[in-house]
Amino acid sequence: MADLNIRKAGRAGRITFTRPQALNALTHDMALSIHRALNGWRDDPDVALVVIDAEGERAFCAGGDIAAIYRAALAGDHAVGQRFFADEYRMNAAIADYPKPVTAFMGGYVMGGGVGVGGHASHRIVGDTTQIAMPESGIGLIPDVGGTWLLSRAPGHIGEYLALTGARMRAGDAILAGFADIYLPEDRWPGLIAGLEETGDTSLIRGEAPAPAPLRDRDLSAFAGADLAAVIDALTEDGDARTINVLWGNSPLSMEAGLIMVRAARNDRRMQHSLAREYRFTHRATQHSDFLEGVRAQIIDKDRRPQWKADAGPGHVAAMLAPLGPDELTWEDRT
């Protein structure tokens, strides 16, 4: 397809994002195509590993292409978004559980849906342009695509901090937080990819000492608060007005739910458990959250002035995360 270049090169299955003009944003068809490619290579003896990269210098994948979801929901069709999220999450799980090595070269912006592709690879390489984030609370969603699983495994309270603020991580912080494994200057990526294609041997992947990780020394104890109000109270006591201002700009419902979900994911045995919980929110998002307003403000009209109105009380948060009954996310292959 035009948005992806999927092929075999030597011993490697190759997936390259090819819509740099859109920051390689992930569409529904792209998610399905990635999943189909992985299925096709699973038992292919000629494919020893999978390599995922992207065209352009600005982004590996800056998120999901959610404009279609927005338009359909405004017209009363909420199934478009529900199908997209379900198929995307199945693809995320397929990457995480893939029986062959998956190497992701994550340069530039890696956000939301891009984390869902690169963040679950077995070998995650970052460089000097890398900026990784889960900024969903700024568009009225929650960290999804397995994001709560990754955030829950970050040391200390880094996961809560990243979920609530949507802060961007450079290479060092991405490795510290568990979103990446290896730092390698990007001018060395083409040679490494060529070697992987020729040999299918992941022992060729050798990183260098990563860049500094500022989060390592940052006091994030305020994010231990039981709920959003407690976090803001602690930040106020600390005099951290800058972080408070960031939180005031995000959806209260998204932050309250995200905080609960990151902490719940710490008890999950498999990423699928976290994905299923994320789907409970996103299945309902176009009807019962701030998602449409967030997309309008940040992506459609770009006025950057969302008017958050969704109920952020405990009852509504619980309702957004309640089991979906027959609509619960399942893992049958629909590719």
Residue 335 has pLDDT above 60, yes or no: no
> Is the CB of residue 65 less than 8 Å from the CB of residue 122?
no
Average pLDDT over residues 29-36: 97
Percentage of the residues of the chain whose pLDDT score is greater than 90: 96
CA 44 to chain centre: 28
Q: Answer yes or no: is 68 within a domain.
A: yes
* Total number of domains constituting the chain: 1
- Residue 124 backbone dihedrals phi, psi, to 5 degrees: -110, 110
Quick one: DSSP state of residue 173?
H
pLDDT 10s digits, 86-103: 999 999 999 999 999 999
The number of CA neighbours under 13 Å toward the Cβ of 218 is 17
pLDDT 10s digits, 245-283: 999 999 999 999 999 999 999 999 999 999 999 999 999
The confidence score (pLDDT) of residue 332 equals 66
Q: How far apart are CA 167 and CA 178, in angstroms?
A: 15
Q: How far apart are CA 284 and CA 102, in angstroms?
A: 32
pLDDT 10s digits, 36-79: 999 999 999 999 999 999 999 999 999 998 999 999 999 999 99
Q: How far apart are CA 8 and CA 171, in angstroms?
A: 29
CA 250 to chain centre: 17
> Is the CB of residue 146 less than 8 Å from the CB of residue 92?
yes
> 157: domain range?
4-327
Residues 6+ apart with CB under 8 A from 84: 28, 31, 64, 66, 68, 69
What would the two tokens of residue 124 be?
């995650």
Q: Answer yes or no: is 335 within a domain.
A: no
Burial of 122 (0-12, 13-18, 19+ CB in 10 A): middle
**CATH number, domain containing residue 153:** 3.90.226.10
pLDDT 10s digits, 106-142: 999 999 999 999 999 999 999 999 999 999 999 999 9
- The torsion defined by the Cα of 97, 118, 185 and 56, in degrees rounded to 10, comes to 140
Q: Answer yes or no: is 270 within a domain.
A: yes
What is the pTM assigned to this prediction?
0.96
The confidence score (pLDDT) of residue 265 equals 98
The confidence score (pLDDT) of residue 333 equals 56
Q: Where are the alpha helices (DSSP H) in the chain?
A: 28-42, 67-74, 79-96, 113-118, 147-152, 158-165, 171-177, 189-199, 228-238, 241-248, 252-265, 271-288, 291-295, 314-320
Average pLDDT over residues 326-335: 78
Q: Answer yes or no: is 334 within a domain.
A: no
Pairing of strands 4-9, 123-126: unpaired
The confidence score (pLDDT) of residue 334 equals 52
Q: How far apart are CA 19 and CA 17, in angstroms?
A: 6
The confidence score (pLDDT) of residue 303 equals 94
Residue 33, CA distances (Å) to 16, 17, 70, 102, 125 in order:
12, 11, 22, 16, 23
Residue 85 has pLDDT above 70, yes or no: yes
> Is the CB of residue 87 less than 8 Å from the CB of residue 144?
no
pLDDT 10s digits, 168-212: 999 999 999 999 999 999 999 999 999 999 999 999 999 998 779
Percentage of the residues of the chain whose pLDDT score is greater than 70: 99
Q: Answer yes or no: is 298 within a domain.
A: yes
Q: Answer yes or no: is 333 within a domain.
A: no
Which residues are bridge partners to 106 per DSSP? 126
pLDDT 10s digits, 214-238: 999 999 999 999 999 999 999 999 9
Q: Answer yes or no: is 19 within a domain.
A: yes
Quick one: DSSP state of residue 280?
H
Q: Answer yes or no: is 332 within a domain.
A: no
Residue 184, CA distances (Å) to 58, 73, 95, 120, 319 in order:
17, 42, 22, 18, 44
Residues 6+ apart with CB under 8 A from 205: 103, 123, 125, 182, 192, 196
The confidence score (pLDDT) of residue 150 equals 98
Burial of 163 (0-12, 13-18, 19+ CB in 10 A): buried
Average pLDDT over residues 275-298: 97
